[in-house]
């Protein structure tokens, strides 16, 4: 076959690297962009460049931000008594969406995983311990909101141990049956956990 535009093929090549985008969707997107006006395409391209030029990490909590400290760490409306520990910066977004938590965050940037050669020193655990230690007694609760898998459990256990010397309550978000689901479709591990963590009503 004859390729008529190398530039088009290059765009398809680049778009096909995005997650969830195969070569067919990449081509559909490139052809769609070709039909848009120049301003619209440049706006998209510039927004993507801005991701790498203006988005930084908050030096306190480690989440993505345009400012340092981030708007959550810098806000007087957010409680300094509670720190929610998450694995990745996107978890901050997912938790914020619930409007449930009014404290601050701490992004670990991963979890302990001997399989992937990630030890406690490779993620921001030391920073968390320092943050708790340096806060005096301002930080009263550390909520662990890690993924319920082996690595998340191990990391939670490790952090819990390191926080023992401090006068801080360590809690973990509840694992159990997701809302709106059907017992029939819940795996056994989740169901067992839901039983073990049952609450008085």
Which residues of this protein are in contact with a second copy, per CB under 8 A? Answer: 1-8, 10-11, 13-15, 17-21, 25, 27-34, 36, 38, 40-55, 58, 63-66, 70-72, 75, 78, 89-90, 92-93, 96-99
Residue 11 Cβ vs a second copy, minimum distance, rounded to whole Å? 4
By beta-carbon proximity to a second copy, the closer residue of 24 and 126 is: 24
By beta-carbon proximity to a second copy, the closer residue of 30 and 112 is: 30
Q: What gap in Å lies between CA 120 and CA 142, rounded to an integer?
A: 17
By beta-carbon proximity to a second copy, the closer residue of 53 and 117 is: 53
Residue 19 Cβ vs a second copy, minimum distance, rounded to whole Å? 5
Positive or negative torsion for Cα 198, 160, 151, 178: positive
The secondary structure of residue 1, as a DSSP letter, is: -
Residue 51 Cβ vs a second copy, minimum distance, rounded to whole Å? 5
Q: What gap in Å lies between CA 199 and CA 201, rounded to an integer?
A: 6
Helix ranges (DSSP H) in 16-149: 23-35, 38-53, 89-98, 125-134
Residue 135 Cβ vs a second copy, minimum distance, rounded to whole Å? 20
By beta-carbon proximity to a second copy, the closer residue of 30 and 170 is: 30
By beta-carbon proximity to a second copy, the closer residue of 93 and 195 is: 93
Residue 194 Cβ vs a second copy, minimum distance, rounded to whole Å? 27
The secondary structure of residue 123, as a DSSP letter, is: T
The secondary structure of residue 126, as a DSSP letter, is: H
Q: How far is CA 12 from CA 5, 23, 77, 165, in A?
A: 11, 7, 45, 55
Residue 178 Cβ vs a second copy, minimum distance, rounded to whole Å? 17
**Nearest CA to 143 among 154, 161, 159, 124?**
159
For the chain, state the CA radius of gyration: 22
By beta-carbon proximity to a second copy, the closer residue of 24 and 161 is: 24
**Nearest CA to 86 among 99, 103, 71?**
103
């Amino acid at each position: 076959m004859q390729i008529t535009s190398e530039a088009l093929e290059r765009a398809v090549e680049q778009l096909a690297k995005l997650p969830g985008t195969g070569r067919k969707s990449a081509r559909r997107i490139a052809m769609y962009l070709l039909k848009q006006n120049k301003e619209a395409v440049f706006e998209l391209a510039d927004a993507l460049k801005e991701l790498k030029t203006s988005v930084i990490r908050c030096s306190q909590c480690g989440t993505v931000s345009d400012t340092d400290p981030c708007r959550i760490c810098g806000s007087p409306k957010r409680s300094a008594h509670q720190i929610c520990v998450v694995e990745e910066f996107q978890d901050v977004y997912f938790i914020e969406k619930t409007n449930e938590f009014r404290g601050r965050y701490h992004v670990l940037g991963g979890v302990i995983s001997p399989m992937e050669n990630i030890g406690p020193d490779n993620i921001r655990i030391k920073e968390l311990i320092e943050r708790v230690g340096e806060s005096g007694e301002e930080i009263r609760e550390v909520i662990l909101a890690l993924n319920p898998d082996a690595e998340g459990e191990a990391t939670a256990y490790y952090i819990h141990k390191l926080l023992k010397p401090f006068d801080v309550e360590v809690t973990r978000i509840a694992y159990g049956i997701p809302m709106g689901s059907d017992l029939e479709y819940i795996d056994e591990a989740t169901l067992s956990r839901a039983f073990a963590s049952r609450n008085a009503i």
